[in-house]
Structure 1
């Protein structure tokens, strides 16, 4: 098949592209960075240099494709852009994707959504995924769309490294012994590739992806063991304290408030209510596997 992959060679797009190429598919990877072209071609794919904000570029690139893999990516540093409207920016990209699909005639899409996309309330910054799904759902019913909803990524724990080094603990506005799902990008990529090879896809499908289920305290134990701190603790602070910390670090106030609300939704069960109604088979990559990568990043920083 002729497959378009957005997201350059990111955490998901790289292993996805590698798997699709190995299976004999023709893959074109969209990247906004011309310097990525050599790397893309090095793993056997074609490079299309352009941006998600350019609907005409997307339309031309999508033309002739059997399937497109869609994701919205702004980059974590944009969270410190004081003028960014997070939801508006993602909605614009989603609208460009919808236009490009219509203009190009593509009939299948796999979209990277997220846990929390089932609702527009109480989920903080994840609300934009709900809005993006709604935009894509307005496409004609003869266009098959699979919405992938992964849970919290393992690599998000890398953000804990500074507080571990400075204060000797993982610090957030949730914690405790209640298990929650985590996921590896490798398992997400495998699930996407699996969906792409379904010969008769349904018009609309939602698939959750998870690799492991662990409590915050268990996460602290595994990561602590990996970095030689077996007594590492996960400490819960108040929403107000975390919000103040994020603002002090320079985060966009709207995004900081959304981040705090997202974490708070982990405490009350709002975030995971639809996940547990549609619980997937867990993937192969466990947190103990990722802990080696965490340790390498910890000692390098």
Structure 2
């Protein structure tokens, strides 16, 4: 088949392209960066250099494709530290990108679409910044019925855990480290040298669903070779753990087998993130997203458990090696 992928050589698109090419498919990869062309061609794919904000470019690139894979790009992290950046601005940008895909699909005559969505896309209530996935699905669902769409809804990515490497280090030092050790490990833990903890407004025995981008790529490649029929969705996950089970596996990889994942209040998390000069409205959306995954019957995972998938083969212990490398960097 002739398949067009968005996402350049990102964490999902690169392994997806590699698998599709190995299966004999013709793959075109869209990238906005000229310097990616050689790397794309080295994989055996065709490079289409242009912007997903350009409907004419998207239409021309999609024309003749049997399947297109569409994703909204991640937010430039530097923008999160702009106090004037708002969740509304983010939602509008993502809505525009989804709209560009819709128009290009319609104009190009593509009949089969796979869209990278997310856990939480089943609702726009109480899920914070994840609501943009709900709206993106809604935009694509405006396409005529003869266009079949598969919405892929992965859970949280393993690599999102990498941010915790620096947190563990910071909460191991000096007075703060001693205070946190006393709070989470008790006096005996403090005196025995236990240091470091992960904290968020979810933690302890809250569920922490995670996925590897390699497992996402494998599922998408599988879905591309299966029949398309109307509008469907599929959740993708690699492992179902609690926050403390997650912390234990990561802790064992960094010689802290006692590591815990503590839970703080929404207000405490908001104050800490705004104190880092992050956009207050975006932080509020992030805190709400996190809170939606708290508790046994949480909003974030309610639809996941109604449509529970077969888990992927990549487990947290596999990723823990990468986490340890990040932790041990100076």
Equivalent residues in 2 for 1:1-301 (5 A)? 1-77=1-77, 78-81=79-82, 82-84=84-86, 85-167=89-171, 168-198=196-226, 200-268=227-295, 269-301=298-330
Q: 1:74 deviation in Å?
A: 3.5
Deviation string 1:267-287 (CA, Å, 9 cap, x unpaired) is 141000000000000010000
Q: 1:76 to 1:174 in 2, by over 3 A?
A: farther
Cα distance in structure 2, aligned partners of 1:250 and 1:129? 26
Moved more, 202-211 or 247-256: 247-256
Deviation string 1:124-170 (CA, Å, 9 cap, x unpaired) is 10000000000000100110100000011111101111211100211
Q: Partner of 2:178 in structure 1? A: none
Cα distance in structure 2, aligned partners of 1:214 and 1:13? 26
Q: 1:194 to 1:101 in 2, by over 3 A?
A: same
Gaps of 5+ in 2: 172-195
Q: 1:272 to 1:245 in 2, by over 3 A?
A: same
Q: 1:179 deviation in Å?
A: 3.2
Q: 1:55 deviation in Å?
A: 1.2
Note if contact 2:85-2:282 (Cα within 8 Å) is conserved in structure 1. no
Q: Secondary structure at the match of 2:292?
A: helix
Cα distance in structure 1, aligned partners of 2:80 and 2:114? 26
Cα distance in structure 2, aligned partners of 1:137 and 1:278? 20
Note if contact 2:207-2:294 (Cα within 8 Å) is conserved in structure 1. no
Q: Secondary structure at the match of 1:206?
A: strand
Q: Partner of 2:180 in structure 1? A: none
Note if contact 2:53-2:100 (Cα within 8 Å) is conserved in structure 1. yes
Moved more, 73-82 or 252-261: 73-82
Count of residue pairs the alignment pairs up:
300
Cα distance in structure 2, aligned partners of 1:255 and 1:10? 24
RMSD: 1.1
**Which structure 1 residue ranges, 4+ long, deviate > 4 Å from structure 2?**
none
Q: 1:76 deviation in Å?
A: 4.3
Q: 1:250 deviation in Å?
A: 2.4
In terms of Rg, which structure is larger?
A: 2
Note if contact 2:102-2:140 (Cα within 8 Å) is conserved in structure 1. yes
Note if contact 2:211-2:239 (Cα within 8 Å) is conserved in structure 1. yes
Deviation string 1:252-273 (CA, Å, 9 cap, x unpaired) is 2221111100110001410000
TM-score (norm 1): 0.97
